[in-house]
Structure 1
Amino acid sequence: MFLHKTKVLQISLFAILSAFVVELVFGLVSNSLALITDSIHALLDSVVTVILLLAARMSIKPPDAEHTYGHGKIESLGGLIGGIAIFLIAIFFIYESVERATSPPPLILPGFFALIAGFYTIGVDVFRIILLRKSIKKIGGVTLKADFYHAFLDFGSTMVAIIGIIFVTYGFYYGDFIAAFILGIVLVVLSLKLIYRTAMELTDIISPDLVSQVKNIAINTDGVLNTKSVLMRRSGDTLFGDITISLRGDVSFDRAHEISSNVEKNIKKNIANSTITVHFEPNWEQVPLDSKINEIAGSISGVKNIHNVSTYKSQGKIFASLHVMVDREINLESAHKISEEIELKIQKNFPEIEHVTVHIEPHITIPNNLQMEGKKAEDEITKILEQYKEIQKIGRIIILHYNDIQKIDIDCSFDRNLSIEKVHDLTSQIEQKIRTRFSEAVITIHPEPI
């Protein structure tokens, strides 16, 4: 892409230089101020194209310690310099046209040679317009767009010059000066627009419509509640964006990262050459009270796990309860301090809660590598299960152990018509029965219908 872009600019440069030479020579021979003016304009365009070519070469350099966003701003700086140069020369053109309009008519009037030079320049301008337009569609780039605009403006200015020459050929002597004056005015206006546009690019101006588009893409991404801020800037062909999105406060970190990645992908899919950084912040407004309590309890030091969080109302008051798991090695006093800290923090954040009940449980850490228990333990559990007539089939019994901890997983089948409440009561009874034999066991019973 880089070689192709610079190659296009080089071809454009050689083409406009040839137009400068032809217009200058034929303008001097035919004594056409408009043609000489347009030749100087062509020379200035050559200078601008050289600046754009150098800017393209320099802006493609990768980011470094001093330019963490890359070197894309060099293109804007080159355009600013070119715009100022065109403005100054345009003022000179206007001055010269007024000066010559008030002077005696020249002895030699522009004619056939001037028209030849003008039509040659039009051919060059058309060639550049087609070349640059195709390249912009294929690879894009600020430098190519800037040179395309210059080529298009060259075409228009040359047409003005030719019209002036035709007027002079038919005896309207002042037509040449009028054409030069109009050309100067056009160049002043266009150069001021170029100066303004490039200066704004250097101040990181960005289209409000583009910001709005990015916001809509982010908000329409699944899981995003809102966009808090969208900061964007352009450096050369690359658009940089820093976006802050709001997610539900109870979303896991993995899910939050997934949502952020989806936002980034969606923006890049819709906006070419964009580099997006997405930040996410929790939003608790739409999160259920149970989830908020779970998050607060989990932030207390010493809490290993939380489950069975519930809230309920009675006589217009809110009550909360939760089960909290702590290190099985700590004493009751330490566990109670953790419980009190949880209660105080919950009521501080939610004064509407009348009372918080914390049920403390020992937390058992199950290591990844466990040893299989012997056949004797499996037989003991089988005998316990056989005591329950509701169990119609005993499936797998897996018993693993680590030091004094057992991990027991049981599959068993019940009548498919039993209510889930009844099945839960039975499995709870079975767990308690097994714990009379294996007091430090972590038991999981999987019920299946039959």
Structure 2
Amino acid sequence: MSHPPSPAAPGSAPGGDRGDAQARKERVALVSIFISLGMACLKLAAGVVSGSLAVMSEAGNNFGDVVTTTLTYFAIRVSNKPADDDHPYGHGKVEPLAALIETGFLFALAAFILIEATRRFLAGDVEVEASPLVFAVLFGSIAVDSWRWRVLSRVARDTGSEALAADALNFSSDIVASSLAILGLAAARFGYPQGDAVAALCVAGFIGVAGFNIGRRTVSALTDAAPHGLTEKVWRVAAEVQGVIRIDSLRLRPAGAEVLGELEIAVPRTLAQEHVATIKARAAGAVRAAHPEVSLTVGARPVALDSETILERILLIAAKRRVPIHHVTAQEIAGHASVSFDLEVDGRMSLGDAHEIASILEAEIRRELGANVEVESHIEPLEPRQLPGADAPAETLTRIEQTLGWIARELGAPSNVHDVRVRETPAGLFVNYHCCVDPELSVDAAHEQVDALERKARAAFPQIMRIVGHAEPESLAHEPPRTLADL
């Protein structure tokens, strides 16, 4: 059985950038493995030679680092696998899971060192030889761990890797632990052998603190805790997008280097679907621009605004039912509203079916505006097909063009009838024309002038099925046509 192609990891970066980041993560993790192994061997040798528990604790810590950095390396490789049917959000959780296992190693090591340090402290018969070689190994370890901490922190920050961030935090604690081991050796060298056991206790404490900090971060990642303060920031960015009435809900969850989110916005219900889709895209884009690590799925819920007019509400109801209406009028009569409109249906439809459509639409309007609203509809035939047509003979065009001009002159307005086109169809003649009116007139007044011209034209030519006049301001009559972008 065939399966649909697996989706790309949510919010993933483009192929090249993502590949470079992944290679960078794997490279620093692999280098860290070999460095941890080398440092562990050197510290173990120095600890055996000196008999210092603090130094051997540090060696044990480094051997633990070998295990955890190896785990980190494989976790990074697995987390880069693309999403599949069983893991639709990708494999990003593998990294915090590896960091959580590292936490367990650190707590176990801290417990072992704590027990051994307590035993030595109480026994008080342990000899420690603090040779210059041992000091050199520890100072070298501090230098190497400082370099690793800086490199891993930078890569973890740039790539959003939880596993590398855990490693960086671990190595920062190693710097403190090595420093404590040096203090313990110095105390033993100056005649205070118990100082080594005290230093080991402090090392155990710092390893435990590092494990706690790593564990707290990884548990937050595994339990889908949103990064601190990010929800408020994303909310604020989305709320400022034009067209967003309010934010109804926002949920964020980390997924490896990405933060996935679901945003629910409220938009005016009178908007077209295309406009709503644009608002959703703008909201997601604005958040992505401000916070590149966030990938949102945006949903929109239409809401009614207090500023909606009766006309907008009626047109919205008709649009939802996909019923064309026009000539909508609303009146206030004796304390209640009266609404009327023309309803267009297929002219071939039976009157019974058309009346049922009108009744359902009227009921919807009453449900929206109130039961006491008076609603009347006028049913008109609508030609549902694209009519075949052809240009009318030149003689017919000339006669209608001259008649339109004569009527306009008789009425005194509109003026300059031009661009007349006449087409013959099986339903009759279709006439289109342009004319000029005073630009200071209201739309109502301009419509009345054009309407008067068209009534006289249809009286003169009964065969005209439809006549459409385009009124334009007199000052624009000889200017080239403009687009909406020019306005």
Q: TM-score, normalised by structure 2?
A: 0.86
Q: 1:290 aligns with which of 302, 311, 315?
A: 311
Tell me, yes or no, if structure 1 residue 75 matches structure 2 residue 95. Answer: yes
Tell me, yes or no, if structure 1 residue 240 matches structure 2 residue 265. Answer: no
Tell me, yes or no, if structure 1 residue 350 matches structure 2 residue 369. Answer: yes
CA distance in 1, matches of 2:43, 2:255: 37
Query: Per the alignment, do residues 25 and 442 of structure 1 end up closer, same or farther by CA in structure 2, a change over 3 Å counting?
Result: farther
1:365-380 equivalence runs, <5 A: 365=384, 367=386, 371-380=390-399
Tell me the CA shift for residue 188 of structure 1. Answer: 1.9
CA distance in 1, matches of 2:338, 2:146: 80
Q: 2:472 aligns with which of 441, 444, 447?
A: 447
Q: 2:113 aligns with which of 93, 96, 102?
A: 93
CA distance in 2, matches of 1:398, 1:142: 71
RMSD between aligned residues: 2.3
Query: Per the alignment, do residues 405 and 135 of structure 1 end up closer, same or farther by CA in structure 2, a change over 3 Å counting?
Result: farther
Q: Which whole-Å deviations, capped at 9, do the CAs of 1:202-256 have from their partners, x for residues lacking one?
A: 2212136212222212111110111222122111111111111111001100000
- What residue is the counterpart of 2:24 in the other structure? 4
CA contact (8 A) 2:159 2:257 kept: no
Q: Which whole-Å deviations, capped at 9, do the CAs of 1:280-309 have from their partners, x for residues lacking one?
A: 1111134333222222233347x2x12333
Tell me the CA shift for residue 175 of structure 1. Answer: 1.3
Q: 2:236 aligns with which of 184, 193, 216?
A: 216
Moved more, 368-377 or 76-85: 368-377
CA distance in 1, matches of 2:215, 2:153: 22
Q: TM-score, normalised by structure 1?
A: 0.92
Tell me the CA shift for residue 270 of structure 1. Answer: 1.4
1:4-403 equivalence runs, <5 A: 4-136=24-156, 138-207=158-227, 209-286=229-306, 287-300=308-321, 303=323, 305-351=324-370, 353-365=372-384, 367=386, 371-385=390-404, 386-389=406-409, 390=412, 391-403=414-426
* Secondary structure of 1:39's aligned partner: helix
Query: Per the alignment, do residues 126 and 194 of structure 1 end up closer, same or farther by CA in structure 2, a change over 3 Å counting?
Result: closer
CA distance in 1, matches of 2:210, 2:149: 17
Moved more, 30-39 or 266-275: 266-275
CA contact (8 A) 1:318 1:352 kept: no
Tell me, yes or no, if structure 1 residue 432 matches structure 2 residue 452. Answer: no
| Corresponding letter in the other structure for 1:160 | L
CA distance in 1, matches of 2:107, 2:440: 90
CA contact (8 A) 2:437 2:471 kept: no
CA contact (8 A) 2:160 2:256 kept: no
CA distance in 2, matches of 1:338, 1:108: 98
Query: Per the alignment, do residues 372 and 126 of structure 1 end up closer, same or farther by CA in structure 2, a change over 3 Å counting?
Result: same
CA contact (8 A) 2:75 2:98 kept: yes
Tell me the CA shift for residue 322 of structure 1. Answer: 2.7
CA contact (8 A) 1:30 1:113 kept: no
CA contact (8 A) 2:430 2:464 kept: no
- What residue is the counterpart of 1:411 in the other structure? 434
Tell me the CA shift for residue 422 of structure 1. Answer: 3.8
CA distance in 2, matches of 1:268, 1:216: 13
Moved more, 361-370 or 169-178: 361-370
Tell me the CA shift for residue 137 of structure 1. Answer: 5.3
Query: Per the alignment, do residues 57 and 199 of structure 1 end up closer, same or farther by CA in structure 2, a change over 3 Å counting?
Result: same
Q: Which whole-Å deviations, capped at 9, do the CAs of 1:149-183 have from their partners, x for residues lacking one?
A: 12212112111111111121112221111111111
Q: Which whole-Å deviations, capped at 9, do the CAs of 1:249-286 have from their partners, x for residues lacking one?
A: 01100000001011111111111233221111111134
CA contact (8 A) 2:433 2:470 kept: yes
CA distance in 1, matches of 2:228, 2:424: 63
Moved more, 386-395 or 217-226: 386-395
Moved more, 198-207 or 410-419: 410-419
Query: Per the alignment, do residues 139 and 341 of structure 1 end up closer, same or farther by CA in structure 2, a change over 3 Å counting?
Result: closer
Moved more, 326-335 or 17-26: 326-335
Query: Per the alignment, do residues 332 and 84 of structure 1 end up closer, same or farther by CA in structure 2, a change over 3 Å counting?
Result: same
Tell me the CA shift for residue 138 of structure 1. Answer: 4.6
Moved more, 33-42 or 226-235: 226-235
Query: Per the alignment, do residues 407 and 147 of structure 1 end up closer, same or farther by CA in structure 2, a change over 3 Å counting?
Result: farther
Query: Per the alignment, do residues 208 and 432 of structure 1 end up closer, same or farther by CA in structure 2, a change over 3 Å counting?
Result: farther
CA distance in 1, matches of 2:90, 2:176: 35
Query: Per the alignment, do residues 430 and 148 of structure 1 end up closer, same or farther by CA in structure 2, a change over 3 Å counting?
Result: same
Stretches of structure 2 that go unaligned for 5 or more consecutive residues are 1-20, 476-487
Moved more, 116-125 or 146-155: 146-155
CA distance in 2, matches of 1:201, 1:228: 25
* Secondary structure of 1:102's aligned partner: helix
Amino-acid identity (%):
24
CA contact (8 A) 1:248 1:284 kept: yes
CA contact (8 A) 2:267 2:303 kept: yes
CA distance in 2, matches of 1:400, 1:17: 89
Q: Which whole-Å deviations, capped at 9, do the CAs of 1:13-67 have from their partners, x for residues lacking one?
A: 2222221111111111011100110111111122111111111100001011111
Moved more, 393-402 or 64-73: 393-402
Tell me the CA shift for residue 440 of structure 1. Answer: 2.3
Moved more, 186-195 or 153-162: 186-195
CA contact (8 A) 2:26 2:73 kept: yes
| Corresponding letter in the other structure for 1:384 | T
Query: Per the alignment, do residues 419 and 29 of structure 1 end up closer, same or farther by CA in structure 2, a change over 3 Å counting?
Result: closer
